[in-house]
Structure 1
């Protein structure tokens, strides 16, 4: 089968990042700024939206403005056959290169589907990793390799990098970081609805399917996102993109992984919402736009591409994907709000 514009664009983006020695974080030179590299995810989402022709220029601008960070050094090989060894390396950011090397070997030996199925339940408890970017980066890479008759080395290496980011920044529910995040969320959400009430509609949808529950969880996150102000518009957007990313990967996983994965992303969504939307005490009201209006949906997608902001592109692409299967006006209302916030001048 001939390569599509999507295939060509994704591979060109990944090749450019490879030539640029992209690491896992933003930064120029050897300075790590602590923020996750979004170029592979943003480029893949932009290509999915049908703008493969814009991808090379977008990647170059991203690299120039955000920086690609530095590739980490190898420390020591991680033995996937030794549970004590790989468990000890979970959450060790300095072992990112070791994790990437492990997953490249695993994918080469077992294939990408078996590698994903083997490691998914091991990584699921740490879904908060990198503010859910381990999950999201993995999901975009899975969509890329699944779309190819024969995935390229660049596509398979990107899947290895997504899994490595998840493993290297893994935060178990018992970790100090996870407990601290939940404690902060609990303090900030006093007097607000508990996750059980907030996600009641999503939990009820489990009677239909995990897929339906994830779709509702994404829509709930979208509805909540429309209430936030300009202070810090980025973190809460992951309450939309993370459950949507999980829904994108589940078809490639064993069925028995679905419910534990839902429980994990639900827990993470509660933590993120409590921390990053708790200052907005109002309940979601009528959004500024009608997310069911075709003109709103079209213009939101166009504006995300015009802005070029990686989060605007990702949340708008997720809104389009989710709306196609489960039409809900909250999805595009959130994407529209994100474009407003991310496109606003600073100050």
Structure 2
């Protein structure tokens, strides 16, 4: 990221940090994630105008409820009344210790609640870590990590206990297609996640001691979930985005984490992706994917940025990660086109 682009990102993050992580009840503020992707993909010139339009929907940061400390954090975990307090706690921790150390300490504590906020908190953390790893740390970037970790901690939400884990087909794509739909696919995500009783145990294919295998399988999951969107995204075009973007956020965070945490990161990412599929898989099965033809990666993302919807931007961002690693994979480009086609654009 060049100096000008970095400056655009830091300015946009500063503007967005005056807003809360949620609005209109429990809708997630995607601003920091979207602007990071836009700057990363060469669309920085659109960022401030996009923030102008998107910020009309946002709300001010919530007020403090009670101080989170090293002594009471377990009681505050998963309590949304502490939304502002958790962000403040992580800001303090990041001022005291290197950000990688703070991330490594809290990552295993937060992973069991990866479904929190419909997986948005872990996605926000993944974008924040990508910036820190590639472009270095400064005040707005560390603040963004604090906001992401704080959001995750406040909305921490494990999946229902006692979920059966039958043997899964080998490839990740087959495993995703084998995930059973929840019996009552209505209502919000919490209602749907609460109905999950079975998820294939695909993640058990990576031995606990083999971090390299865990990373490879996580990359396989991201590729498969992106391809799943290309054929199944019509089930719920917005929510099924997260089946791909949540595991990709975990994949982006791995280089900043100790390798011994990688296998459990794979397991959590699989649980999140499979849970989203269980909640929103279409009842009428797959459809033929769009044909990307000769559209370049740059043009795909330019279309997403012009479209403006934050979910389309994030899905295309993930699809381009997959396409860069697997240029022969036409489903990645098809998923990008499908997101722009199915999701309503942002007016700006």
Q: Contact 1:143–1:248 at 8 Å: present in 2 too? A: yes
Q: Where does residue 166 of structure 2 map in the other structure?
A: none
Report Cα offsets for 1:46-68 as digits up to 9, x if no partner.
0000111211111111112xx22
The aligned counterpart of 2:120 is 133
SS at match of 2:67: coil
Query: Structure 1's 326 and 243: CA in aligned 2 closer, same or farther, altered over 3 A?
Result: farther
In the alignment, which of 218, 224, 243 is matched to residue 239 of structure 1? 243
- CA–CA distance in 1 between the matches of 2:105 and 2:112? 14
CA distance in 2, matches of 1:219, 1:247: 11
Q: TM-score, normalised by structure 1?
A: 0.83
What is the distance in 1 between the residues matched to 2:3 and 2:262? 31
Deviation at 1:287, TM superposition (A): 1.7
2:59 paired residue number: 69
Q: CA deviation at 1:302?
A: 2.4
User: Deviations for 1:268-317, whole angstroms, at most 9, x for unmatched residues?
Assistant: 1111101101423x2x4642215xx5426454222111101111111111
Q: CA RMSD in A?
A: 2.8
Asked if 1:143 corresponds to 2:134, the answer is no
Runs of 5+ in structure 1 lacking a partner?
27-31
Q: Deviations over 1:142-192 (max 9, x none)?
A: 11222334x222111111000011000001235799996445345xx9xxx
Distance 1:125 1:153 in 2: 29
Alignment counterpart, residue 54 of structure 1, candidates 46, 55, 64: 46
Counterpart pick for 1:261 among 251, 262, 265: 265
Change (3 A) 1:298 1:52: closer
* Equivalent residues in 2 for 1:290-329, closer than 5 Å: 290=292, 293-295=293-295, 297-327=297-327, 328-329=329-330
Mark the runs of 5 or more structure 2 residues left unpaired by the alignment: 163-187
Q: Indicate the residue corresponding to 1:288 in structure 2.
A: 290
Provide the rounded CA distance (Å) in 2 between the counterparts of 1:217 and 1:70.
36
CA contact (8 A) 1:244 1:322 kept: no
Name the residue aligned to 1:335. Answer: 336
Which secondary structure does the structure 2 equivalent of 1:289 belong to? coil
C-alpha separation in 2, matches of 1:344 and 1:145: 30
Task: Give 1:38's match in structure 2, choosing from 20, 30, 34.
Answer: 30
Question: Is 1:24 aligned to residue 21 of structure 2?
Answer: yes
Which of 182, 188, 195 aligns to 1:184? It is 195
Query: Within the alignment, does 1:195 sit opposite 2:200 as a pair?
Result: yes
SS at match of 1:220: helix
Query: For residue 29 of structure 1, what is the aligned residue in structure 2?
Result: none
> Match for residue 12 of structure 1?
11
Matches of 1:301 and 1:203 in 2, distance apart? 34
> Following the alignment from structure 2 to structure 1, what is the Cα–Cα distance between the partners of residues 233 and 156?
29
Q: 1:124 to 1:182 in 2, by over 3 A?
A: same
2:153 aligned partner: 167
Q: Which moved more, 1:122-131 or 1:224-233?
A: 224-233
- With the length of structure 2 as denominator, give the TM-score of the two structures: 0.83
1:184 counterpart SS class: coil
- Aligned residues of 2:121 and 2:148 also touching (Cα < 8 A): yes
Q: Secondary structure at the match of 2:28?
A: coil
Deviation at 1:204, TM superposition (A): 7.4
Aligned to 1:117: 104
Change (3 A) 1:22 1:107: same
Question: Which structure 2 residues correspond to residues 72-83 of structure 1 after superposition, within 5 A?
Answer: 72-80=62-70, 82=71
What is the match of residue 170 of structure 2? Answer: none
Is residue 201 of structure 2 the alignment partner of residue 214 of structure 1?
Answer: no
Q: Following the alignment from structure 2 to structure 1, what is the Cα–Cα distance between the partners of residues 43 and 345?
A: 23
